[in-house]
Amino acid sequence: ASGIKIHLANDSTYIWNKTDSVLINELKHLEVFAANGVTTKMYNFKLNTHQQDPDTIYWQNVTNNYINLPTDQATVANASNFYTYYKVGSSVGLSTSPIVDGETWTDKPISGLPASVVLKSIQIDSAKESEMWYALNADGKVYLSANGLTWTEQSVDLPVNAVYGKLPSFSTDSILAVVKDGDKYKFAKTMNFTSMNVLNEIPTGFPVEGFTFTRVNNPLIYTAKYLIVTGGKDINGLQNSKVWVLQEGESKITYTSKSLNFNVKGASMFNYDNKIYMLTSEEDKSKEVKNVFYTSSNYGLVWSKANSKQALPAGFSYRENMSISVDIKNNIWIFGGVSSNEAQLVEIWKGRINKLYVK
């Protein structure tokens, strides 16, 4: 072409020099001139824009059946990999996948974890240069690892009934646990389980098994350092229906609790989009039980049901006790869970809210 004439929406025209910018929203036609300066061809211009709702989460089923059908399972993550621990009979297995993948899984040999290990207790303290992994068994014993593969039993002064991860502190964060001290169950803080700083007695109804937790450490609000716990059962095996907001006090753990008006049995909590999210379940209008999200913007004391734009897809069957991780690109990963007929689900789902898209 020897020349191009630009036709705009206001019926103005000009010869384009191929370097000047064009008002793309007003562009109507492109008229191309042949070398003879007489022959022309007109091209209509139409701008198609794809508008994405910023609050919508699109979900995909990443993979299924990536481990042998287990009797129990739990998935944790560090900065680079997912680790799915699972039980088949009396044996404990491990399969891993890079976080950037999630589809291709590799079995890894592990040693030192007993058949009595509580898989949901496995956690990673990756705040230091060298990671520390820890797990509990059903008898209150503690097992430590530097890589998630080789585990050794750590001698502890008192049986450890539960571990709640890192408790945000006004000085140095420490791991919060519940220990049995005589016939009392008490909070305790520790850095590495070699010694335990035993604190006050836990409140009546506080969950010590099957719970879900997350932490809040708001850098903009100095006092906003909390550990949020819900679901699970207390020391008497009674179902907990409250949310507990814990905070480090002077030589004790302070707490606020509140009864919730929705189900928290088998729920999973995580931090996302500057809120606390909880994946739980409830009956819909047709009395079918489905998984739903609730969110809290005030440290877990007030909750509201998430927008329907974030609902899980029709292919996502009801489940409890799933593992959830959020990666550096703001993807929510949902692993496994237990179905309504108590069967283990070997599925991985992934979703991300549009406004948190990261290339």
Summarize the confidence of residues 309-334 as an average pLDDT.
97
d(CA 184, CA 197): 15
**End-to-end alpha carbon distance in the chain:** 37
Q: Which of helix, strand or coil describes residue 215? A: strand
pLDDT: is 283 or 93 the higher one? 93
Q: What is the percent of the chain with per-residue pLDDT over 90, rounded to a whole number?
A: 75
In the sheet that holds 275-283, the strands lie side by side as 268-272, 275-283, 289-296, 304-305
Q: Give the up-direction half-sphere exposure of residue 153: CA atoms within 13 A in the CB hemisphere.
A: 12
Task: Give the residues across from 305 on adjacent strands.
Answer: 294
Average pLDDT across the chain, whole number: 92
Q: What share of the chain is helix, strand, coil (3-state, %, to 5)?
A: 5, 50, 45
The CB-side HSE value for 171 (13 A sphere, CA atoms) comes to: 6
Please name which of 58, 69, 63 lies closest in space to residue 82, comparing C-alpha atoms: 63
Identity of the amino acid at 336: G
| Residue 107, φ and ψ in degrees, nearest 5 | -70, 140
Digit-coded pLDDT (tens) for 107-165: 999 999 999 999 999 999 975 567 899 999 999 999 999 999 999 999 999 999 999 99
CA distance 153 to 137: 10
Tell me the pLDDT tens digit for each residue of 169-225.
988 899 999 999 999 999 999 999 999 999 999 999 999 999 999 999 988 788 889
Half-sphere exposure (CA, 13 Å, Cβ side) for 358?
Answer: 8
Q: Residue 51's pLDDT is what?
A: 65
Q: Which two tokens stand for residue 324?
A: 């959830």
Quick one: pLDDT at residue 18? 73
Q: 160-167 and 174-181: which strand pairing?
A: antiparallel
Q: What is the pTM of this model?
A: 0.85
Q: Give me the mean pLDDT over the 266-278 stretch.
A: 97
Element at 125 (helix H, strand E)? strand 117-125
- Topology of domain 57-356, CATH: Methylamine Dehydrogenase; Chain H (2.130.10)
For residue 29, what pLDDT is reported? Answer: 81
Q: Which helix (H) or strand (E) holds 296?
A: strand 289-296
Residues spanned by CATH 2.130.10.80 within the chain?
Answer: 57-356
Q: What is the pLDDT of residue 146?
A: 95
**Residue 359 above 90 pLDDT?**
no
Q: For 23, phi and psi rounded to 5 degrees? A: -70, 90
Question: Which residue type, as a one-letter code, is found at position 46?
Answer: K
Residue that is written with structure tokens 């492109």 in the block: 30
66 pLDDT more than 90: yes
Q: Say which amino acid occupies 349.
A: W
Q: How confident is the model at residue 32 (pLDDT cuts 50, 70, 90)?
A: confident
